[in-house]
Chains A and B, each alone.
Chain A
Amino acid sequence: NAGVTQTPKFQVLKTGQSMTLQCAQDMNHNSMYWYRQDPGMGLRLIYYSASEGTTDKGEVPNGYNVSRLNKREFSLRLESAAPSQTSVYFCASSEGADLNQPQHFGDGTRLSIL
């Protein structure tokens, strides 16, 4: 069972470059999420998609865009990377909009911006 798969696992960018982080889940989940985690801090929600065809901003959306490509895939795009976006990015999914369904996380993408 792959669960939630994130690619790439590591990436180094220069300031101003663009990049798309990919996320795919094989659990037929309706809802998907992107979080970032900075050193010494908990996760913060960037964007989420409650269901296919919808996306909404989370706590820290500035500098990011998302695309819910289909039910399986939810991508996160940095249009012009900044050093402040150096972080570990986690994608998650859950069965649906019921808030008490567990979220399943990928293992993260470690992104460094020089």
Chain B
Amino acid sequence: DAKTTQPNSMESNEEEPVHLPCNHSTISGTDYIHWYRQLPSQGPEYVIHGLTSNVNNRMASLAIAEDRKSSTLILHRATLRDAAVYYCILRPDQTGANNLFFGTGTRLTVIP
């Protein structure tokens, strides 16, 4: 499975935008890019996913590089509730197994 590389930790001020990077230089053409986050003492929560085009939803935006070797999760206005570990995950477009391969993620600290 293709691997992802994320910074261990990042900080952001409250109410400012946050850009969380993810490198995936060995991504294959059919791998989707997924982001999940895990708040303290909770299970992971789906954030967003995409293949080639940038994606937006109510939680965040996903910007995917043209060569797809990297992506960035954008939180437009960080709140204290966004403090969590953010996981960038690659998922091949195959039927059958639907398992996620989590790395160690980026721990986001939001400063009031």
List residues of chain A with CB under 8 Å of any chain B CB.
Answer: 4, 31, 33, 35, 40-45, 48, 50, 56, 58-59, 90, 92, 94, 96-108
Contacts and interface: CB of A to CB of B under 8 A. Distances in A.
A98 B41 CA distance: 28
A99 B43 contact: no
Nearest to A105: B43
Contacts of A50: 96-98
Contacts of A41: 104
B68 interface: no
B40 to A, nearest CB: 11
Contacts of B41: 107-108
Contacts of B43: 4, 90, 92, 105-108
Contact of B105 (A42, A44, A90, A92): A42
30 contacts: A31-B98, A33-B98, A33-B100, A35-B102, A42-B102, A42-B103, A42-B105, A43-B44, A43-B102, A44-B102, A45-B100, A50-B97, A50-B98, A90-B44, A92-B43, A97-B95, A97-B96, A98-B98, A99-B32, A99-B95, A99-B97, A100-B34, A100-B93, A103-B36, A103-B98, A103-B100, A105-B43, A107-B41, A107-B42, A107-B43
A45 B104 contact: no
Contacts of A105: 42-45
Interface of B: 32, 34, 36, 41-46, 49, 87, 91-105
A50 B95 CA distance: 10
B102 A99 contact: no
Nearest to A31: B98
Contacts of B87: 42
Contacts of B45: 105
Contacts of B103: 42
Nearest to B99: A45
Given A4-B43, A35-B102, 8 more contacts: A31-B98, A42-B87, A90-B44, A92-B44, A97-B98, A99-B92, A108-B41, A108-B42
